[in-house]
């Protein structure tokens, strides 16, 4: 059974620093992954497909024109071997059919993605648990869940988009499943805006033997975005692949 864990203020400074560094690294990794799937692959693939069709069409027209001209002007006493031209014509036709097949496949993929959007839209508005290196702060609240092998203190650190630590605390975990909710305030008690923040959990007696604690992010699905890398689930400002969804509560 999941337990809600309490927060304590005392923690070794070195362990706190380790958690802060891990949180900043998590946020950097998450933003880099998001940038790599910003849509450039889709536009590049579209451009390549269009250029291939245009190039093939131009070459195919030129080839037919050349073939016709040569056949019209061949020496009747020494006719050219048309087998070679016929073979090239067959090859050109095969390439043209391959490009057309790729175009049709792209259209089929788009239709499939559209169907996926309709089916996945049913999750919007439901609580979801996902794998992410960022915590989603929604309406001033963000929740994490994790498992602890034993009852022990766990250091949590949260950083903003600049990688600057804004919140640190020690949470007293119980053995087994745990959940922890961030109230959306910084270390000084000031409210921070809703968004996606880097987060890390560390355990250990100090920074030298700190161990990362795997966690999941809990939030409410707010939308879906179709990107070049596939469907992305929106949890407020946090965006994750559908493949990272671990559970959905209806």
The string of pLDDT tens digits covering residues 209-225 is 778 899 999 999 998 88
Same domain, 134 and 240: yes
Q: Which of 120, 144, 172 is the last residue of a domain?
A: 120
Q: How confident is the model at residue 182 (pLDDT cuts 50, 70, 90)?
A: very high
Domain shared by 56 and 159, yes or no: no
Instruction: Verify that 80 and 166 share a domain, yes or no.
Output: no
Do 166 and 199 reside in the same domain of the chain?
Answer: yes
Contact (Cβ atoms closer than 8 angstroms) between residue 210 and residue 21:
no
Choice between 183 and 50, residue whose per-residue pLDDT is larger: 183
Range of the structural domain that residue 197 is part of? 3-37+124-248
User: What pLDDT, on a 0 to 100 scale, did the predictor assign at position 218?
Assistant: 96
DSSP state of 54: H
> 120, 138, 158: which is the final residue of a domain?
120
Q: Is the pLDDT of residue 195 over 50?
A: yes
Across the range 166-180, mean pLDDT stands at 93
Range with lowest mean pLDDT among 14-23, 108-117, 204-213, 229-238? 108-117
Query: Tell me, what DSSP letter sits at residue 224?
Result: E
Same domain, yes or no: 19 and 73: no
Say if residue 114 is in the same domain as residue 154. Answer: no
Boundary-marking domain end, from 64, 99, 120: 120
With bands split at pLDDT 50, 70 and 90, how would you rate the model's confidence at 65? confident
Which of 11-20, 21-30, 194-203, 235-244 has the lowest average pLDDT?
11-20
Helix 40-72 / helix 82-120 crossing angle, nearest 10 deg: 160
- Residue 78: how many other CB atoms lie within 10 Å: 6
Same domain flag for 147 and 237: yes
Tell me if 217 sits within 8 A of 181, measured CB to CB.
no
Mark whether 155 and 65 lie in a shared domain.
no
pLDDT > 70: what percent of the chain? Answer: 61
**Count of the separate structural domains present in the chain:** 2
pTM, entire model: 0.61
Do 153 and 87 belong together in one domain?
Answer: no
Cα 189 from chain centre: 32
Q: SS3 for 69?
A: helix
Say if residue 203 is in the same domain as residue 218: yes
pLDDT at 75 exceeding the cut of 80: no
């Amino acid at each position: 059974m999941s337990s809600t864990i309490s927060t304590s203020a005392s923690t070794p400074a070195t362990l706190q620093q380790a958690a802060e560094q891990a949180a900043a690294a998590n946020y950097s990794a998450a933003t880099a992954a998001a940038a790599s799937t910003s849509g450039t692959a889709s536009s590049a693939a579209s451009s390549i497909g269009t250029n291939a069709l245009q190039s093939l069409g131009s070459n195919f027209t030129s080839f037919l024109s050349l073939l016709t001209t040569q056949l019209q002007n061949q020496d009747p006493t020494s006719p050219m071997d048309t087998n070679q031209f016929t073979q090239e014509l067959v090859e050109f036709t095969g390439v043209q059919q391959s490009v057309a097949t790729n175009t049709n496949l792209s259209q089929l993929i788009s239709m499939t993605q559209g169907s996926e959007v309709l089916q996945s839209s049913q999750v919007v508005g439901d609580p979801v648990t996902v794998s992410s290196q960022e915590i989603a702060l929604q309406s001033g609240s963000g929740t994490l869940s994790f498992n602890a092998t034993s009852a022990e203190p766990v250091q949590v650190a949260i950083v903003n988009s600049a990688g600057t630590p804004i919140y640190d605390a020690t949470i007293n975990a119980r053995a087994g499943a745990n959940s922890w909710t961030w109230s959306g305030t910084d270390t000084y008690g000031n409210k921070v805006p809703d968004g996606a923040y880097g987060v890390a959990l560390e355990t250990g007696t100090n920074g030298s033997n700190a161990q990362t604690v795997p966690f999941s992010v809990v939030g409410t699905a707010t939308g879906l975005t179709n990107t070049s890398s596939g469907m992305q689930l929106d949890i407020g400002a946090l965006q994750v692949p559908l493949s990272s969804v671990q559970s959905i509560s209806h």
